[in-house]
Amino acid sequence: MSLAAAQGEGESTAWNRAFIALCLVCLLSGFLSAPFMALFPVYVEADLGRMPLFTANLRALMLMLGGFSALVGGRLCDLLGLKRTLMVGLAGGILNGFVFHSSSPWALFLLVFLIGFTTGPWTTAGQSYLISSVRAGQLGMGGAFYFLSGNLGNALGSLITGVLKETWSYQQLGTLMSAGMAGVCLLALWLLPSTTAARSQEGLALRAVYLPLLRQNTVRLLIGLRLFINSFWGMATLLLPLLVYRVSHSESMPAYYASVSLAVAAAGQLLIGVLRDRYGRLWPLLICGAGYALCGLGVGLYWESLPALFVFGTGLTATAWAISTLVPSLINEVAGPQEKSRLVGLLHLVWSTAMVAGSLLGGTLVEIDPGLPFLGGALLAAGGTFCAWLLCRRLDRKEQ
């Protein structure tokens, strides 16, 4: 059965060509983007001498553009097909390395603008490939391997980054990143199967295709889950590398921290995927939500200790990614056959909005007290867990 058919019926096997190729591309992309993820806040503070709020503003711009372009990307998946949409997003990864060659605020602004605009199509098409190429009953493990591929690549890339940063400059790392991503784009163009685009005379018609989704109660609860969970994650991803750097006084330590936390998160994703496919959605979601809140409290109370930052920060990363692993299966259950790519795009807009709000809030609160963002984040995690419980109840009623 073709991928296009699987997109409508969800009857493809878990290990077809599309899924394996997608995971390989995610692995390589995660590996080559690791220096940007791990060291961008440190580069801005240590080399450019800018405050965390400056980094937060750049991240906010990138995330806002990524959110808007995800709405467009969800529609482009319908009109152009998944492969073309994904290639648009993947090509933007080449620009990540140019960031480390830029010291001008305006050059950074332009690069972040372009990178942000391409993240939406990459995320939307990637998760749509996942949902369309894996059976509904295997989406727990399918989602785990999909996100694991990116996280494993990030973990390995962060480890290599930590080693190379001892002797390499930021500019040398940036050159390696851009050249490598160009190769990944060519590999994806060769390996990923093409998909059938829908025939439509309406163009993008964003209002017409997204308003019906927003009227559904289950969609609104899924939005609430993403909004609460990722508002906290926006603060955490900005502040944890900075806190590790400040406490350890080492520019390479944040890269080692990222490697450890993402490696543990990878194991957690596999575990939560197995639990989801075997026991359903409710308990894995509730366990991850509770762990997310508790780890936030741990960082908030013990942020001055480097071991505590590693332990609780790693737990925070693992539970956050475990929740993300469960989202594709929730999308598959909530959305209709023709709505899945659109719901992926809508939820990425919510994710981006939450990450922007969290980054800006975290960049402000950390200057008041470094533990304050994490104590507030624990409350946000509790709100997201409550939305998850309500969503599972509604889906159970729908199935009865």
pLDDT mean over 290-316: 92
Q: What distance lies between CA 167 and its chain's CA centroid?
A: 30
Mean pLDDT across the chain: 84
**320 pLDDT exceeds 90?**
yes
Q: What is the pLDDT of residues 164-179, one digit of tens each?
A: 877 888 888 889 999 9
Q: What is the pTM of this model?
A: 0.79
* Distance from C-alpha of 122 to C-alpha of 82, rounded to nearest angstrom: 10
pLDDT mean over 97-126: 85
**14 pLDDT exceeds 50?**
no
Question: Are 119 and 89 a contacting pair, CB within 8 Å?
Answer: yes
First-to-last C-alpha distance (Å) of the chain: 30
Please, what's the b/e burial string for 357-385 (b: 16 or more CB within 10 A of its CB; e: otherwise)? Answer: bbbbbbbebbeeebbbbbebbbebbbbbb
Question: What is the topology classification, in CATH, of domain 16-399?
Answer: Growth Hormone; Chain: A; (1.20.1250)
Amino acid present at 357: A
Q: What is the pLDDT of residue 10?
A: 41
Question: Are 389 and 282 a contacting pair, CB within 8 Å?
Answer: yes
Q: What is the pLDDT of residues 212-221, one digit of tens each?
A: 888 899 999 9
pLDDT mean over 94-115: 85
Q: What is the pLDDT of residue 224?
A: 95
Q: What is the pLDDT of residue 15?
A: 57
pLDDT mean over 9-37: 77
Residue whose entry in the numeric block shows the structure tokens 């259950």: 333
**59 pLDDT exceeds 90?**
no
Q: What is the pLDDT of residues 206-248, one digit of tens each?
A: 777 788 888 899 999 999 999 999 999 989 988 998 888 888 8
Q: Quick one: pLDDT band at residue 331, thresholds 50, 70, 90?
A: very high
Poorest-pLDDT segment among 55-59, 61-65, 223-227, 343-347: 55-59
Q: What is the pLDDT of residue 285?
A: 92
